[in-house]
Amino acid sequence: MTANPFVILYVEDNDLVRESFAELLTTDDRRVVSVADGAGAREALREQKVDLLITDINLPDGSGLDVAREALGQNPGLPVIVCSGQDLKDVTLSLGPTAHALTKPFGLEELEALVERLAR
């Protein structure tokens, strides 16, 4: 791993999905911090520099949109990917120009391509 890896905060309440994608997204240049809920996301955002936020919309303790809004309040240039089974076009527009949507179910290739584009 590089001295200053690109840090991805991945917020997903499904344990299998979270662990699988976190493992697959981790590279020599990227570190993934994975959490299951909004409280964990907020703690991670307070404790470290995050370069990309990927969040599910429906979390057990609230909305991933609230997490995204708080993260963008701290860092307006933060790239954010919101994930849901619903159409998110209006939601990403409300979050601003650094927000992107992925509609579930999505494949690793689709996620990886977007992460690669945002990591530049």
Indicate the range of 2-11, 23-32, 55-64, 84-93 predicted with least confidence: 84-93
**Neighbouring residues of 42: CB distance < 8 A, sequence distance ≥ 6:** 67, 70
CA atoms within 13 A on the CB side of 95: 28
CATH code assigned at 49: 3.40.50.2300
* pLDDT mean over 11-18: 94
Number of domains in the chain: 1
Q: Is residue 102 part of a domain?
A: yes
98 and 79 Cβ atoms separated by less than 8 Å: yes
State which residues form the domain around 88.
6-115
Q: Is residue 78 part of a domain?
A: yes
Q: Is residue 120 part of a domain?
A: no
- What residues pair up with 9 in beta bridges, in sequence order? 33, 53
Instruction: Give the number of other CB atoms < 10 A from CB of residue 58.
Output: 13
- Per-residue model confidence as pLDDT tens digits over 67-99: 999 999 999 999 999 998 887 778 888 899 999
Q: Is residue 105 part of a domain?
A: yes
Q: Is residue 1 part of a domain?
A: no
Q: What is the pTM of this model?
A: 0.94
Q: Is residue 72 part of a domain?
A: yes
Q: Is residue 110 part of a domain?
A: yes
Q: Is residue 101 part of a domain?
A: yes
* pLDDT mean over 3-30: 93
| pLDDT score for 2 | 64
50 and 4 Cβ atoms separated by less than 8 Å: no
